[in-house]
Structures are given as structure tokens and as C-alpha cells.
Amino acid sequence: MAVAAALLSLTVLVLAMRAPRARPSQPGDGRTVASYGFDLSTCLVPEADIVASGMERDGLPTLDDPDTLSIQEVEQKNQEGRGKFLLDGDRVIGVTLGGDARAYPLRLMRWHEVINDTVGGVRVVVTYNPLCDSVVVAKRTIGSEVQHFGASGLLHNSNLLLYDRQNADGLPSLWSQLQARAISGPHAAEQSRLEILPVALCMWGEWRVDHPHSRVLAPLDRMSQVYKRDPYHSYFGSDVLRFPVDPLPETGDLALKDRLVVINAGADEAAFALPLLARAAGADHGSYDTAVGGIPIRIDFAVHPGVATVTRRDGLGPPPVTRYSFWFAWFAAHPETVPGP
């Protein structure tokens, strides 16, 4: 019943947000996995755990090399509209590569989920899945091929499954967002993985001060009314899940939708839960110093609205690789995880 309700609500949202211009129908009827046309014969996860999201392939429009705004243009847009385009307290995905800085507001990302972009000369895919509040940014070059990813319309443990839209043999593979690996198709047979990149999940007010020359993902004019909606507000405020997830963590110190930042540094990986960081710091926002893989790390965090930025305390080398997620989603993909601190 919960899955059926989720499919209905998502379908209504998609119908409401579609652009007025016509576009060819995409595979996927929103209900049956087989209708999406992916070859699951090489699937690396239980096929029964993959479900339809209620949307067709690319039901949410993926953006390729999207337009951007300067900070000054964002401020001008804030002054022109009836409602502010971007507030200081809004969450953004922040990426810095090759001297370039780029911000992707979550209020836009929840209506796109997948962005194929180039930052600092690096071909990247920027992904956000509202169902898991998960953020992963990775290189989209695999071997000699530059991939263009889209949203498959399928989910695994409530998490976004991407697919590669350009493949040399013409057969698309499915990719897990949180695991950053192919789980079916030709790339699964090759055990292909994406190279995950450092990323910040922070508030716009902090990002624009720290990166005054940053560019910002520009909204699509045809979706201006859609961007104002937040279909996940009540979902974020409860422990109710819209789709099946297995396994789920046992009841303990963390709620299902408590937020994690996962850090890869050196050869080690460590997950830090924002509520546990708050407990250690004695406040719901602040800084926490630790080490991962022998590298001194600082985590600046705020439990509300759910942000964390990870830097190296020694100032040497690039920031560590990071991912962000709700606790339930990360546990389903990595049940061996014991969050710190």
C-alpha cells in the first residue's frame, strides 16, 4: 500500500512538472521493472530489490552542461522575483576542481537529480537523490569513454539508479548512486566503478562567502513554478519510507533519516553521523577534529538543516572524498558501517 501511494504521488508530481513542449515517450511504465528495458541478467544485486519509482526513464529532466549564474546574477535574481531564488540558509552541493567553483542548489537538484557537467576541465556527474538525501559527485570518464548519465526511473533500496546514455555497444548499464558502481549491464560485467570526488554539502551563505567567484546552476525558466514546490517536506520530517529497503538498521542511537557524511581518505573509509558529532561537540553545530587514513580532518557541521564540510587540518593536498546520505540508505548499501564519532 505504501509503495502504491508513493508511486501515485510521484506520478502526479511528474505530470505537474512536465514541460509544455512535447517530447518522445521514454521507456518505463512506472510500475513494472521489465518495462524500463534494462538487461538485468548480469545484475550484481538481488533483482527483486529493484523497483520502479513511478516515473519513466529521465522522468525528471537530466541537465547536460547547464547554464550557470554568477553570484551577482543570483543576487539580482533574488531582487527581481516575488520569492527569493536562493537564500543564505538554502543547502547547496559545492564542487571545486581545477580552480573552478560550482554550486548546485538542492531546491533545483530535487527536480533534476542528475547533472552532467564540466568543472575545472573535469567531466563530472553531480547527483542528488531526495529519497535518501544522498549526494555523490564523480568523474564520468570510464576508460576512454565520456559517459552521459540519466535517471533510470528505477530504485534500489530507495536509492537512485543511474544509467549511461552513451555506450560503445549501445547497451546501457545501471549504476548505484551511493555505491558508485555498475550493478547491471556491460559495465557490471567489467566491475566498473566511478571515481568519487570531494564535495561539500553546505549552506549557500557560507559557500558564496568562501567562494566569491563561484558559478551557480541556473534554473530552467519553464520550470520556475515547479522549483517552488517541495514534495519531500513531510517525508524529511518522519521515519516513513516510500519504498522497500532491506536491510534496515536496528533501532539505536540514530533515526532512519539522521544524516551521515562518509569520508574516504588514504585507504580508509569512515562514516560520521551528524547527531553523534553534535553530541561530541556539545552543540547541534560546530566543528569536530579527527583523522581518517592518517590524514587530519576537520568536519564543520550543522544538524539542522543537515550540512557538513570536510577539510584537511594540515592544509596539504586536496580535500578528502566525501558522500552524504540518510542513515538507512547508507546502512542498506554498507551494513557493516558503525557511524562515529
pLDDT in tens, 136-188: 999 999 988 899 999 999 999 999 999 998 765 678 999 999 999 999 999 99
The pLDDT of residue 8: 44
CA dist 143 and 140 (Å) reads 10
Is there a contact between 325 and 259 (Cβ–Cβ < 8 Å)?
Answer: yes
The pLDDT of residue 22: 42
106 vs 168, more confident: 106
| Residue percentage of the chain with pLDDT more than 70 | 92
pLDDT higher than 90, residue 246: yes
- Residue whose C-alpha is closest to residue 50's, from 41, 62, 59: 41
pLDDT in tens, 6-54: 544 454 454 444 443 445 578 999 999 999 999 999 899 999 999 999 9
